[in-house]
A and B are shown apart, each in its own frame.
Chain A
Amino acid sequence: MSFLPKSPWLVHYDASSCNGCDIEVLACLTPIYDVERFGVLNIGNPKHADIFVVTGSVNEQNKTVVKNIYDQMAEPKVVVAVGACASSGGIFRECYNVSGGVDTVIPVDVYVPGCAARPEAIIDGVVQGLGVLEAKYQEKGKAAS
């Protein structure tokens, strides 16, 4: 992809991560990686977002929060699961209060591996998410503007 068809805005939620992946997501926004120069913006309002970045696994308590944020986002939307925890439960998958990866609650489009996922990997995941977003637009019969 030589250009971005869209400036993707993302909303980030920390399900039950250890903070490792979280601060790497934040690190993507800061000067060394600086995804804002590509038009990627981290915002708090789910209704403004195209991409939902989730770190950490889900449990009974935060299941509803994850689902809630996902439901509030406008279609089409893409979910990027960042880190081993979000993808499968990771190192905590056998804990009594972990019910698994994010895909047990909402559909996930891109999985970013790593524990903790590196900022480069996270950025790559978001860029791949953009491809998915583009495809979803086309499916709806309208090109991304």
Chain B
Amino acid sequence: MGERTIIPFGPQHPVLPEPLHLDLVLEDEKVVGAVPSIGFVHRGLEKLVEKRDFQEMAFVIERICGICSFIHGQGYVQTIEAIMNVEIPDRARYLRSFWGELSRVHSHLLWAGLMADAFGFESLFMHCWRVREKVLDIFEETTGGRVIHSVCKIGGLWKNVDNDTLQRIGAVLREVAKEIQPLADVFRRDYTVQKRCVGLGLLTKEEAFQLGAVGPMLRASGVAMDARKLGYAAYGELEFEPVTETGGDCQARTLVRIGEIYQSLDLIRQCIEKMPDGEVAVPVKGNPQGEFLSRLEQPRGEAIYYGKGDGTKYLDRFRVRTPTFANLIPLLHVLPGCDLADVPLLALTIDPCISCTER
């Protein structure tokens, strides 16, 4: 047994663009403990509800995170709509699912690229991000923004997308699916990828459930839990089953995410096919009074939004529990016992979003 050394990982680390800081306790090359310290990206934006009225807050909440920005906005407006008993038009519900699934495609491709970068597969990283740009182009065309969209408002959406555009997008996405195919094959079968991922960071079904893992992290251990099954937005009328794997290792988590890219593309196809006609917003009167808690499936897992209004323009309280926060505990559980060189890979396997976690 060697001497114990403590190695700081982050906050500025080449593998992660975000400031995650871990103090890794090492014995020789083996990690025996990990102590996270957070707070580098904490902004305290939940408290802004006291200074911005409930309509404006939608734009602030969207900026919790620039990767799943659309779904954060959706979570917020959904909570407030539930408090105010607002029924949104069908087309708005479908468009929300449409953009939500597009977010998932772009987020998972982004993650796949970063993951490839973490195990040193530079060209795979570049290709994932090349395909991702096509999805961003669709976002730009339909919402006006590449990463921050600001299309959700209380009572519906700010923007509509006409049916011709939707048809064209459907065709583009079929091309995207073809382009993803060879990349997915590399993740599924490539020898070097397998060498790095299979058996790494094992999390059994029981552990994943008991430690409160969410999203792909949970589904890769064989638990078929997906908040979209609650049927918010248009999900109640779309056909899909949660993607699961039983391996519980890095490879299984990769496969779940790859499977979800295809699932999302299929859901988008269904949305386009079933898209109802009509308005995308209803007028909203009054101020929110009461409280509500809503659950949504982010690309990284289940997120929880809680809002409480006291009948004034300003909310009393708003709170978000983001998926990375839930997944940090399983991460700390799988780190001990791994090699130092595998730490970046394990950190990425939960698809960390630090700015979500710290808000």
Residues of A within 8 A of B (CB): 11-27, 30-32, 43-44, 46, 56-57, 59, 61-62, 65, 69, 91-92, 94-98, 115-116, 118
Whether B151 sits at the interface, judged by CB under 8 Å, is no
CB distance from A36 to the nearest CB of B (A): 10
CB distance from A124 to the nearest CB of B (A): 16
Partner of A30, one of B41, B64, B133: B133
A-B contact pairs, 17 of them (CB 8 A): A13-B19, A15-B40, A16-B42, A17-B355, A19-B17, A19-B65, A19-B353, A19-B355, A24-B147, A26-B17, A31-B133, A43-B14, A56-B41, A59-B40, A61-B42, A92-B60, A116-B148
B-side contacts of A16, CB under 8 Å: 40-43, 355, 358
Interface with A: B45-53, B232-240, B247-255, which one? Answer: B45-53
B-side contacts of A17, CB under 8 Å: 41, 66, 355
CA distance A19 to B45 in the complex (A): 15
CA distance A21 to B146 in the complex (A): 10
Q: How many A-B contacts are there with CB distance less than 8 Å?
A: 123
B-side contacts of A13, CB under 8 Å: 12, 19
With contacts A12-B17, A14-B18, A30-B130 taken as known, whether A96 is within 8 angstroms of B41 at the C-beta atoms is no
CB distance from A116 to the nearest CB of B (A): 5
CB distance from A15 to the nearest CB of B (A): 8
CB atoms of A92 and B130 under 8 A apart = no
CB atoms of A18 and B18 under 8 A apart = no
Residues of B within 8 A of A (CB): 11-14, 17-19, 39-45, 47-48, 51, 59-60, 63-67, 69, 110, 113, 125-127, 129-130, 133, 136, 145-148, 353, 355, 358
Partner of B13, one of A44, A56, A94: A44
Closest to B65 in A: A19
B-side contacts of A12, CB under 8 Å: 17
CA distance A69 to B355 in the complex (A): 20
CB atoms of B148 and A115 under 8 A apart = yes
Partner of A44, one of B12, B19, B358: B12
With contacts A14-B19, A19-B353, A25-B17 taken as known, whether A31 is within 8 angstroms of B129 at the C-beta atoms is yes
CA distance A90 to B42 in the complex (A): 15
A-side contacts of B64, CB under 8 Å: 18
Closest to A34 in B: B126
With contacts A18-B355, A23-B67 taken as known, whether A30 is within 8 angstroms of B44 at the C-beta atoms is no
